[in-house]
Amino acid sequence: MGNVPKAVSGGDWAERAFEAMAPVYDDFTAHHEYDLWTADLLGILERNGLNGRRLLDVGCGTGKSFLEMLKRDWQVTACDLSPSMLEIAREKAGDEVRLAVADMRELPVFGEFDLVWALDDAVNYLLDGDELRAALGGMGANLAPDGLLLFDLNSLLAYRTFFAETEVVERNGRRLVWTGLADAGVEPGSICESRLEVQSPDGSPVPGEEPLFHRQRHFPEAEVLAAFDDAELECVEVYGLDVEGEPRQPLDESIHKKVLYLARRAGY
């Protein structure tokens, strides 16, 4: 849909979208391989001086981004804007994890963490530079002095394909239809939308299910790097994730589907 005026903030859109999506989120993302992704990410982090096992997972959703870390004996604190997503995370994690409803734009200081991460484009739900700066500042405030911050963002390629195309996932007797409303020529920095509908297996509407809308913003690399400066963070590495999810350098947003940013406190 290209550039659209900001009507309400990213958090309002995201909360609405994920409160409605929570019951089908794990079905829609069942093909995401967090075991492999977590191993890749830990490899990158270890090569960049990861030290300790305290994780703050920001925008943790239903827990997919921290469950693999629990298996590796990490001590996990996790938060999300959506209480319904967190309820599902709680069912999976039990009392082992400290979970909190929190907006990443007003992140409390939960403690000192060796690793703060926000995975699977949680940060793209922020809709302008002020929201991004506020979130990075809050994440930075939760870092141990030598802690690392890691997050991924959708690339231009993702907005020109996934957010411009239709994808259907059939699982557990439901048909989940994602209709990207962007066009294939999305410009850097655009806000893009998609519609998600829950249908019966024959494609008929499910009574009581309304379509829900995802609204995300593309953040160009230069804007993210400037936001790091404002948040007193220092960028350590930038990777593009190719269509297989493999980290590559240098970043090329025309062929990489995600961008991975690794940062730490400035001057550490």
Ligand X SMILES: C[S@@+](CC[C@H](N)C(=O)[O-])C[C@H]1O[C@@H](n2cnc3c(N)ncnc32)[C@H](O)[C@@H]1O
Q: Does 59 bind ligand X (CB under 6 A)?
A: yes
Rounded to the nearest whole angstrom, what is the least distance from the CB of residue 152 to ligand X in the complex? 9
Q: Least CB distance from residue 30 to ligand X, whole Å?
A: 11
Of the candidates 268, 232, 242, the residue with the CA atom closest to the CA atom of residue 40: 242
Cβ closest to ligand X, residue 120 vs residue 253:
120
Nearest in space to 124 (alpha carbons), one of 238, 265, 233, 260: 260
3-class DSSP state of 110? coil
Interface with ligand X, residue 89, by CB under 6 A: no
Cα–Cα distance measured from residue 235 to residue 205, given in angstroms and rounded to the nearest whole number? 46
Non-local (6+) Cβ contacts of 76 within 8 A are: 55, 57, 66, 69, 70, 93, 96, 97, 98
Does position 64 interact with ligand X (CB under 6 A)? The reply is yes
Smallest distance from ligand X to CB 61, Å: 3
Write the interaction track for ligand X spanning residues 4-33; mark x where CB under 6 A is met and - where it is not. ------xx--x---x---------------
257 binds ligand X (CB under 6 A): no
CA angle 212, 218, 106 (to 5 degrees): 75
Sheet holding 54-58, edge to edge: 98-101, 75-80, 54-58, 113-118, 143-154, 258-265, 233-241, 247-248
According to DSSP H, which parts of 61-126 are helical? 64-71, 83-93
User: Binding residue for ligand X (CB under 6 A) from 54, 105, 256, 257?
Assistant: 105
Tokens of 191: 């806000």
Pick between residue 60 and residue 259 the one whose CB is nearest to ligand X.
60
Shortest separation between residue 183's beta carbon and ligand X, angstroms: 22
Residue in 69, 77, 80, 239 binding ligand X, rule: CB under 6 A: 80
Using CB under 6 A as the binding rule, whether residue 261 contacts ligand X is answered as no
With beta carbons less than 8 A apart as the criterion, state whether 169 and 265 touch. Answer: no
Give the residue with the Cβ less far from ligand X, 19 or 223: 19
Smallest separation, CB 250 to ligand X (Å):
25
- From 55, 99, 122, 176, residue interacting with ligand X (rule: CB under 6 A): 122
Which listed range, 44-52, 80-88, 142-150, 157-165, lies at the site for ligand X (CB under 6 A)? Answer: 80-88
Element (H, E) at 175: strand 174-180
How many residues are present in the chain?
Answer: 268
190 binds ligand X (CB under 6 A): no
Strand order in the sheet with 174-180: 166-171, 174-180, 191-199, 212-217
The residue range among 53-61, 154-162, 221-229, 250-258 that interacts with ligand X, by the rule CB under 6 A, is 53-61
Closest separation between CB of residue 255 and ligand X, Å?
22
Query: Whose Cβ is closer to ligand X: residue 190's or residue 200's?
Result: 190
Interface positions with ligand X (CB under 6 A): 10-11, 14, 18, 59-61, 64-65, 80-82, 85, 103-105, 119-122, 125
